[in-house]
Structure 1
């Protein structure tokens, strides 16, 4: 018992005094240091074993050392919890914990691997080539902006028809050169059904799949085009779809004005994170929440209270997102408007404020085998005169 008390007390006191004198820690944090550093059983047992082997200590003394090491290690977690319950975190520690909590919930903050499917060249591209080039430029700009916030690995992935691997590899090499600042990995596989190959690749621990889409769908029932729609619908990782401006319109990068539909959902938060990452030094992110009054007879007697309550909630929503953006050094403006149609108000703000990019957060709706992102999102995609990015996180 005397040896145990001496070993535990000596280590705890030494750590406590070191934390108090050298680290200038308060009483309870210094006590926690002493409690935590007492878990040293493995080292004591190894040294005692070497001493016993060399004949430097006796068997009974070896047993005492092993027992005290085990007891000290068992006691340490309980003592550490007891001390930590009495520690008052500093403002810096609280800020660090909050930053970690926000990062764990963040789509951008958790990126480690990004998959970018690249379609092989096709003789049917024709007039769409300028649009594809503009969309790819947006993809490169987006990835470059995201990489300023967090380092991640980008993989360019192409699916070649059986026997066409060499041509696909040459083309992917040319495309990789345009992504050169990101130092992407390049991968080509042969498969008869490209969407199946891309989905199989996306299941290999990717955090995001970045997809480029044409301005006008190639198919009347498609939201973007049949291939992109299938990839969004079947992907097991979050997707981010980039759709450029209509033909003939150009856009500077980084975009000067970015509009985010802030409706209080987790998807809207992800969209705001992407917008904050996109913003350059001269950019402005506009957070817009729209309140749509209820006009049915059930709500007639409480219509004013309904609007007042939802205006208050809307200001809380955009205020919380604006705080995140300003914390990242982004210029943020926010609005809460009342209108009969949310999508009509968003389109009006996008036009009057000369928005370059509209960022929408959404989640999939079950609708047989057709991609369905909701009537409002699909109308915004159809009618917006600016570039659009759609973030979908399962």
Structure 2
């Protein structure tokens, strides 16, 4: 008998901890031999790795404890700083993080980039429409939430013993800095916590973030005044005026002309560049440019980065891919470095002094009670319930990097010392860590309003819907009636779904590369004609929604570009689909081949395009007015038919036309069944699903059940009896060399005497 010895199991923490110790040991040896004052790239890399690994490990621990991961990153920095590591192993700590200015500047630069990227990501996730709708409540919550803790913090500075002040002669300025630090919620921390708690879509979560945005904006104006007072002894009116007027002008430009410019930059870089990730480079340039502008007008760069994120998030193309790329970069590198450096610059050993500890405790209480009370009062004035006001008060009580920056400014001008700086950072950590559990407790007591339930249900449906996956339309058409009908339908989708349209004239001459065409302008007559058709259709769709009482964004938000056929058609279509076009409206003639089936050019176009295709064929006489369309959508209970029904309902909603669904059993289902109830239950389930989709789009739909075993004949029979002039059918491509969508679709292609759309699903 043999005994097997199992090797000891290593904790998952072992390898990272050994790695950190190795890095520290290497640095101690390196520091002993270091003679030059020049910064070390090796040390810089080691610092980054240590901060990232420590932040990841402690962030994971915090998440498992129900705290935001950023708290673990800040605590990791505190542990690596003079408070713990420096106290236990001062030589090793000073070797790993030396006070050499040139060395510190390298990591600080990464930290500053971290601030911008975090704000960019937070802006992309902000629902601006909801924030605007809640602007009055957000402004009330923010202003009272600033005023009350600011007054309390200022009073604390005024009555603070002189022994705790770095300079008793500058008590006024110190009081202003304390008031500012205690009153501002950090939008970076607030947005991160709300996002990690999955409350970004709740009304209260959006209101918390919107209020924090106002907090930050107002806070930087206050800082500008305080900073000028600290430097000059008096309020610099010109600096204040430049900050206020410049901020208003910057915001006005950004959300009007700037929004279109940002989208065009994203579209142009995506469509014109052939190298990897060009859009990400364009967004970084946008973020940097806007941050520079806000810095120039006397407001911190974070405001520019946040506004850039909002504009990027409103881009109708590539937002999901962009957000994923930015989130990966920000979460893996910039966040742990930035928040780690925040903790690293904090020395909690100053709290060993009883007077400093008492001061820290008092500031935490003043900050928490003042912020909670101010937000609560503002919420009640805004008409919110007690439960909602409590949740807002808890949510706004989070500080973080904003307070650290304020404290750093005060430290740099001499109105704060290292003791007060550490106290303010400690206050920021305590209040931020208190936010998640208190907010969870408050939200658990907060019932959803009916309006909020409906909105969240609508958003959940939209997220899972068939059409939500599409971002860009390619309108591939020729000069035929099929092309005209495709242009009309694309205009409806562009208006209701806010989808940009790229027009490709498949009969165009090979030649010039892609050019931009603002709707209705340009030298190419055919492109101008197509663009005007899409534009006019979109305008009618918006007018239709206005008549039924639904508001829509201005048609000026519609983006139309023209792509010239500058190479072989199949090559152009493949390239276009690789640039983010995921839904192609095809309107070309002929649709049928000389020997039956699908025309060769149509089949090759569908094969070359990697996304979803809608084949549009105009037959018979279509009404001039889109409202006179009569749409028939066959359904069979399959996922494919439900997706086509959603497509049809968008057209019906945009045009205000009538729509009818006819239920039939597909060919493989058209066999005797053991019970009549089997068929009844199937069509009832299909109709229930159809009613849900119709209710989401706000469209009334008639439903009929077809009898008989031939679906294609049943579809044509209902179309003729009901005088329907547009059939929309969901199809899926069959395997094989020749293009086929199955018996029903292929038969309709050959025999239909009225217009139809085949939607690939």
TM-score category of the 2 structures, normalised to the smaller one: 0.7 to 0.9
* Residue pair 1:270, 1:361 contacting (<8 A) in 2 also: yes
The residue number in structure 2 matching 1:182 is: 534
1:336 aligns with 2:682: no
The residue number in structure 2 matching 1:106 is: 465
Q: Quickly say closer, same or farther: Cα 1:136–1:159, change in 2 above 3 A.
A: closer
The residue number in structure 1 matching 2:30 is: none
| CA deviation map 1:56-75 (0-9, x unaligned) | 22321211111111232233
Q: Provide the C-alpha distance between the structure 2 equivalents of 1:164 and 1:295, rounded to a whole number of angstroms.
A: 52
After the TM superposition, which of the residue ranges 2-11 and 357-366 deviates more from structure 2?
2-11
Q: Calculate the aligned-residue CA RMSD, in Å.
A: 3.0
- 2:427 corresponds, among 63, 68, 71, to 68
The residue number in structure 1 matching 2:614 is: 240
| CA deviation map 1:142-186 (0-9, x unaligned) | 12222331322211124689x942699999642432331535311
The residue number in structure 2 matching 1:376 is: 744
The residue number in structure 1 matching 2:450 is: 91
- 1:3 corresponds, among 339, 359, 363, to 363
Larger Rg: 2
- Greater percentage in strand: 1
Superposed, which structure 2 residues align to 1:198-217 within 5 Å? 198-214=573-589, 217=592
1:260 aligns with 2:633: yes
* Residue pair 1:356, 1:387 contacting (<8 A) in 2 also: yes
* Residue pair 2:505, 2:527 contacting (<8 A) in 1 also: no
Q: Provide the C-alpha distance between the structure 1 equivalents of 2:462 and 2:393, rounded to a whole number of angstroms.
A: 31
The residue number in structure 2 matching 1:229 is: 603
For residue 165 of structure 1, give the secondary structure of its aligned residue in structure 2.
Answer: coil
* Residue pair 2:477, 2:483 contacting (<8 A) in 1 also: no
TM-score when scaled to structure 1?
Answer: 0.82
Q: Provide the C-alpha distance between the structure 2 equivalents of 1:238 and 1:82, rounded to a whole number of angstroms.
A: 45
* Residue pair 2:477, 2:504 contacting (<8 A) in 1 also: yes
- 1:140 corresponds, among 487, 494, 506, to 487
| CA deviation map 1:92-112 (0-9, x unaligned) | 001111221222233445654
Q: Provide the C-alpha distance between the structure 1 equivalents of 2:477 and 2:387, rounded to a whole number of angstroms.
A: 57
CA positional deviation for 1:219: 4.6
Q: Quickly say closer, same or farther: Cα 1:285–1:294, change in 2 above 3 A.
A: closer
* Residue pair 1:155, 1:187 contacting (<8 A) in 2 also: yes
Q: Provide the C-alpha distance between the structure 2 equivalents of 1:166 and 1:379, rounded to a whole number of angstroms.
A: 40
1:353 aligns with 2:713: no
| CA deviation map 1:217-250 (0-9, x unaligned) | 1353643x222223324432221110111xxx32
- 1:250 corresponds, among 621, 640, 643, to 621
TM-score when scaled to structure 2?
Answer: 0.45
Which runs of 5 or more residues in structure 2 are unaligned?
1-360, 516-521, 536-559
Q: Quickly say closer, same or farther: Cα 1:61–1:140, change in 2 above 3 A.
A: same
* Residue pair 1:114, 1:207 contacting (<8 A) in 2 also: yes
Q: Provide the C-alpha distance between the structure 2 equivalents of 1:171 and 1:82, rounded to a whole number of angstroms.
A: 62
Q: Quickly say closer, same or farther: Cα 1:197–1:99, change in 2 above 3 A.
A: same
After the TM superposition, which of the residue ranges 40-49 and 327-336 deviates more from structure 2?
327-336
* Residue pair 2:663, 2:705 contacting (<8 A) in 1 also: yes
Superposed, which structure 2 residues align to 1:262-301 within 5 Å? 262-279=635-652, 283-291=657-665, 295=671, 299=673
- 1:157 corresponds, among 488, 492, 504, to 504
